[in-house]
Amino acid sequence: MSNEATLHSQQEVMHGAHDHHDHEHHHEDSFISKYVFSMDHKMIAKQFLITGIVWAIIGAFFSVLFRLQLGFPDATFPWLESILGHWAKGGRISAEAYYALVTMHGTILVFFVLTAGLSGTFSNLLIPLQVGARDMASPFMNCLSYWFFFLASLVMMASLFVQTGPASGGWTMYPPLSALGDASIGSKIGVDLWLTSMALFVVSQLLGGLNYISTLLNMRTKGMAMTKMPLTIWSFFFTAVLGVLSFPVLLSGFILLLMDRHAGTSFYLSDIFIAGKALANEGGSAILYQHLFWFLGHPEVYIIILPAMGMVSEVLAVSSRKPIFGYLAMIGSLFAICILAFLVWAHHMFVTGLNPFLGAFFVLLTLLIAVPSAIKVFNWITTIWKGNINFTPASLFSIGFVSTFISGGLTGIWLGNSSIDIHLHDTMFVIAHFHIVMGVSAFFGMFAGIYHWFPKMYGRFMNSTIGYIHFWVTMIGAYLIFWPMHYEGMAGMPRRYYDVSGWASFKQFGGLNEFITIVVILVFAVQLLFVFNFFYSIFKGRKMTTQNPWNATTLEWTTPIHAGHGNWPGEIPEVYRWAYDYSKDGRDFIPQTEPIGPNESAH
């Protein structure tokens, strides 16, 4: 009842306001309020996306730089010195710079691109449009959420330019390495800036997450029962819940770290002798930080992958012209993943000296996640079975997503089993595993989303020929890069090694590292092609002429091509059915807004 009331008052306010400026005050949308401090969820989505793209280019470029070192440890590249200065004296990246690049690559891609850029973009864009709301529950908080993210970005960017360089202890920022400036040059001001930036980032995530949850719980249009929501919305819902419950724990861990750095506390420090003297700290536990970190860190990987899963479900259904198979099982498995995500964090810590008995439970719960994941994969495959698939760039990326999710997910079964993890922990096998399953997959989900909803965002299409080139080079390249990396890990080659040529056990992979680096450069170049296509198409892409270019059932395609703030010029449409009536009763698709006919079969 109260939901209805909120909704209706919202409608009236928005509707009233709308008439108001339609008729009289057009100047209300100044440049600042329309493009900068916008409160329109669609504009905020674009802000997140474009900021995310800028970060993605930087983060990916860093990986090209450190792959150059790993692939060609003996070569010199004079141009490196011109861009990195004393960090690459004589054209060879120094070890300190290498570790700074690795750390920033991880931080940027995990948090700034695949969290803010992915769920920030699509939760913002799709939640109001697909549940039938005029905007978020609090457009102002939503605006703040972006600007906190922007501030976090500024601070992180600034840390790249300080004298002692950015943080360089790995994206997990384990103390004591990150707590002691004497332990690493990157642990001087770089870590303070990193922590500040991440604190701002957490604020941004909480503002966003609370908004997503309250919007989709309270502001669904008439008839939009929870079980009628598209899977995208369900996935954004669980993503936001994960974020809201786990980011505060991360922040607490960071605050303790900050106090260890500057207030003389010993939360994480004990028995340390460094730079020629013994420190006074005693009784702290460096492992405590890892618990706090991974309590977010593990849900974080689901924060990254769930939105991609949701969008892929939607895109596969639309392009196969079939309902998603097992809608309820899909929600159930999302829910199971969401719960289990909180119960598996210590599988990152099997070799820290964790009590083996406790470790056993984490093995069990970790491998349990494979069950809902398997259900999802089988359901996606069944969704395309006997479909009528149109290969748009979005649907190709969705198929690619399922493929990489399988490949990377299966190696998760290896690593989740603690006995195998002992051997493979912190090796290149782990790098291969998580890059395939949450790096490449999440990016594929994001690309699918961008290609699919680009027309909704900008009223134009992206060039699909470039889209196809983009997909095929990325798909082939991703496997060429990460598949052989498993073998390096099987040989025990540790991750984060600046140079393996001094090791009898690992130097046999020199040639392979070279090959991987060359593929990385190629794949990076193709991503730039995508970025170019993206920006070019905003201004010059083929124009959208119909409201519903993909013949989809969901609500976002009932809005005008260039929807203003408030999304629907008139009443918000009412919803009568679920989002997946494709090819039912001989009809290609039936929009959610069409009332159930008298002779219609049930689903």
In the region spanning residues 277 to 336, those forming contacts with other proteins, defined by CB under 8 A, are 278, 282-287, 320-329
- The residues in 538-597 that bind other proteins, with binding defined as CB under 8 A, are 542, 580, 582-586
On the 0-12 / 13-18 / 19+ scale of CB atoms within 10 A, 588 is: exposed
Contact 301, 338 (CB under 8 A): no
Can you tell me which of 218, 252, 270, 547 binds other proteins, judged by CB under 8 A?
A: 270
3-state secondary structure 254-300: HHHHHHHHHCCCCCCCCCCEECCEECCCCCCCHHHHHHHHHHHHHHH
- The residues in 378-407 that bind other proteins, with binding defined as CB under 8 A, are 378-382, 384-391, 396, 399, 402-403, 406-407
| CA distances, 444 to each of 215, 400, 405, 416, 449 (Å) | 27, 7, 10, 24, 8
Does 127 interact with other proteins (rule: CB under 8 A)?
no
- Residues binding other proteins: number (CB under 8 A): 135
Which is nearer to other proteins, 333 or 558 (by Cβ)? 333
Contact 337, 306 (CB under 8 A): yes
Instruction: Quote the strand ranges of 111-193, DSSP E.
Output: none
Here's the x/- map for other proteins, 460-479, by CB under 8 A: it reads as: ---xxxx-xx--x--xx--x
Which is nearer to other proteins, 10 or 265 (by Cβ)? 265
SS3 (DSSP) at 588: strand
Which is nearer to other proteins, 241 or 256 (by Cβ)? 256
DSSP-derived secondary structure letter, 543: B
Which is nearer to other proteins, 410 or 457 (by Cβ)? 410
Contact 59, 166 (CB under 8 A): no
Which is nearer to other proteins, 1 or 328 (by Cβ)? 328
**Tokens linked to 517:** 């680096």
Which is nearer to other proteins, 248 or 484 (by Cβ)? 484
Shortest Å, Cβ 8 to other proteins: 32
Residue 559: its H or E element: none
DSSP-derived secondary structure letter, 561: T
Shortest Å, Cβ 102 to other proteins: 8
**Which residue type is seen at 127?**
I
Which is nearer to other proteins, 170 or 310 (by Cβ)? 170
Does 367 interact with other proteins (rule: CB under 8 A)?
yes
Shortest Å, Cβ 519 to other proteins: 13
Neighbours of 360 (CB within 10 A): 11
Alpha-carbon gap, residue 562 to 424, rounded angstroms: 51
Shortest Å, Cβ 394 to other proteins: 12
Alpha-carbon gap, residue 245 to 456, rounded angstroms: 31
Can you tell me which of 484, 538, 547, 551 binds other proteins, judged by CB under 8 A?
A: 484
Shortest Å, Cβ 535 to other proteins: 12
Alpha-carbon gap, residue 212 to 137, rounded angstroms: 8
Can you tell me which of 87, 503, 538, 576 binds other proteins, judged by CB under 8 A?
A: 503
Q: Does a cis peptide bond (omega within 30 degrees of 0) precede residue 393?
A: no
Alpha-carbon gap, residue 255 to 268, rounded angstroms: 12
Which is nearer to other proteins, 39 or 102 (by Cβ)? 102
Does 418 interact with other proteins (rule: CB under 8 A)?
yes
CA-nearest of 250, 165, 263, 247 to 209 is 247
Can you tell me which of 16, 502, 570, 598 binds other proteins, judged by CB under 8 A?
A: 502
Measured in whole angstroms, the distance separating CA 184 from the mean position of its chain's CA atoms is: 29
Which is nearer to other proteins, 61 or 497 (by Cβ)? 497
- The residues in 146-185 that bind other proteins, with binding defined as CB under 8 A, are 168-170, 174-177, 180, 182-185
Does 142 interact with other proteins (rule: CB under 8 A)?
no
Torsion angle of C-alpha atoms 234, 240, 475, 468, degrees rounded to 10: 70
Does 4 interact with other proteins (rule: CB under 8 A)?
no
Which is nearer to other proteins, 154 or 521 (by Cβ)? 521
**Tokens linked to 539:** 């201004």
Can you tell me which of 5, 13, 154, 371 binds other proteins, judged by CB under 8 A?
A: 371
Tracing tokens 């500057």 back to the chain, one arrives at 262
Neighbours of 457 (CB within 10 A): 16
Can you tell me which of 160, 512, 538, 561 binds other proteins, judged by CB under 8 A?
A: 512
Shortest Å, Cβ 494 to other proteins: 5
CA-nearest of 459, 471, 494, 299 to 397 is 471
- The residues in 38-97 that bind other proteins, with binding defined as CB under 8 A, are 78-79, 94-96
Shortest Å, Cβ 333 to other proteins: 9
Applying CB under 8 A, which part among 3-11, 15-23, 240-248, 369-377 lies near other proteins?
Answer: 369-377
Shortest Å, Cβ 586 to other proteins: 8
Which is nearer to other proteins, 211 or 411 (by Cβ)? 411
- The residues in 216-255 that bind other proteins, with binding defined as CB under 8 A, are none
CA-nearest of 103, 127, 131 to 48 is 127
Shortest Å, Cβ 474 to other proteins: 12
Shortest Å, Cβ 131 to other proteins: 21
Can you tell me which of 37, 245, 423, 538 binds other proteins, judged by CB under 8 A?
A: 423
The values of phi and psi at residue 588, to 5°, are -60, -50
Alpha-carbon gap, residue 94 to 453, rounded angstroms: 42
The values of phi and psi at residue 361, to 5°, are -65, -35
Does 370 interact with other proteins (rule: CB under 8 A)?
yes
Does 356 interact with other proteins (rule: CB under 8 A)?
yes
Does 535 interact with other proteins (rule: CB under 8 A)?
no
Can you tell me which of 5, 13, 226, 274 binds other proteins, judged by CB under 8 A?
A: 274
Can you tell me which of 491, 518, 538, 561 binds other proteins, judged by CB under 8 A?
A: 491
Residue 490: its H or E element: helix 485-490
Can you tell me which of 87, 150, 498, 576 binds other proteins, judged by CB under 8 A?
A: 498
Residue 496: its H or E element: none
